[in-house]
Each structure stands twice: as structure tokens, then as C-alpha cells.
């Protein structure tokens, strides 16, 4: 899965490292998902984050994980800004870089690698028939 992380702050750098550790291809060419990560000094000391995106699976999962990690309010911005369900912009206070990187990473894992029920191998199903 190719992911583009745009930003030069601590959260973007940490997110790139987390993605590379799980064998995601972090690139700016032909990316499946694009994540804009911005640190804003104006949000320091405030109890919210700003997420700009289109309502969809990625926005929902990322906002849930960030909220679970911080219990801060999340302001959703949908006018203008990001116009794709495969792109997301997150604006945060500089002190919350680790939480943002972890929340986005977990949201991307949920979006890109959904949990699937493991079906038994064909030989397990066959042997179970003979033992029953």
C-alpha cells in the first residue's frame, strides 16, 4: 500500500517511521492515501484537534483512534479543503505529535488491513469431518 505523508513536523516524521516498520511504501507518487499533518502553535493549550476530510472510513477510524488516545474534542472541517475520501488533513498542537502519529497509524491499519475472520485450512475442515 502506497501512502503519502505530507509535512515536516514531528508527527509526520514519526508516522513515516511507523508506516515503514509495517512494510507500507511511503511515497509521493501514485499514493493510495494522502495524509497532511500540520502542527499549529495556535492550538497549544487548547482541547481540540482539527481534522479536514470527506466523511468516510479513513476519517472515521482516524478520529476514533485519536479520541481514544487523548479524549480531546475533534473539530471536523468539510468546507473547501480536502475533497477525497482517500486524503485527510490533521492539524494539531506541537506537543501532541506522538498521539497524532499513533492515531493516524492505527486508523490507516484499520482502513488498509481490515480484520478478517480466519477460516480453517482445507485439511483442517476435512479432518474435522472424519473426527466428528
Q: Domains of the chain: which residue ranges?
A: 2-131
What architecture (CATH level 2) is domain 2-131? 3-Layer(aba) Sandwich (3.40)
Neighbouring C-beta atoms of residue 55, cutoff 10 Å: 10
- Cβ-count burial of 75 within 10 angstroms (0-12 exposed, 13-18 middle, 19+ buried)? exposed
Residue 113: what pLDDT? Answer: 74
* Region label for 7, one of left (φ > 0), alpha (ψ between -120 and 50) or beta (otherwise): left
Residue 132: what pLDDT? Answer: 53
Walk along the chain (132 residues) and give the pLDDT tens digit of each residue: 899 999 999 999 999 999 999 989 999 999 999 999 999 988 888 888 899 988 889 999 999 999 999 888 888 887 778 888 899 999 999 889 999 999 999 999 998 875 555 566 666 666 665 655
Q: Write down the pTM of the prediction.
A: 0.81
Residue 1: what pLDDT? Answer: 83
d(CA 94, CA 37): 11
Residue 122: what pLDDT? Answer: 63
Q: Could you say which DSSP state residue 131 is in?
A: H
Residue 117: what pLDDT? Answer: 55
Amino acid at each position: 500500500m502506497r501512502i503519502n505523508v505530507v509535512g515536516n513536523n514531528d508527527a509526520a516524521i514519526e508516522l513515516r517511521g511507523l508506516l515503514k516498520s509495517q512494510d507500507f511504501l511511503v511515497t509521493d507518487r501514485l499514493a493510495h492515501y494522502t495524509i497532511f499533518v500540520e502542527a499549529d502553535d495556535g492550538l497549544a493549550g487548547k482541547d481540540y484537534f482539527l481534522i479536514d476530510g470527506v466523511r468516510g472510513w479513513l476519517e472515521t477510524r482516524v478520529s476514533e483512534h485519536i479520541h481514544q488516545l487523548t479524549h480531546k474534542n475533534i473539530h471536523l472541517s468539510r468546507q473547501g479543503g480536502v475533497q477525497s475520501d482517500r486524503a485527510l488533513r490533521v492539524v494539531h498542537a506541537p506537543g501532541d505529535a506522538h498521539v497524532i502519529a499513533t492515531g493516524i497509524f492505527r486508523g490507516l491499519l484499520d482502513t488498509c488491513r481490515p480484520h478478517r475472520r480466519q477460516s480453517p485450512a482445507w485439511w483442517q475442515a476435512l479432518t474435522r469431518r472424519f473426527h466428528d
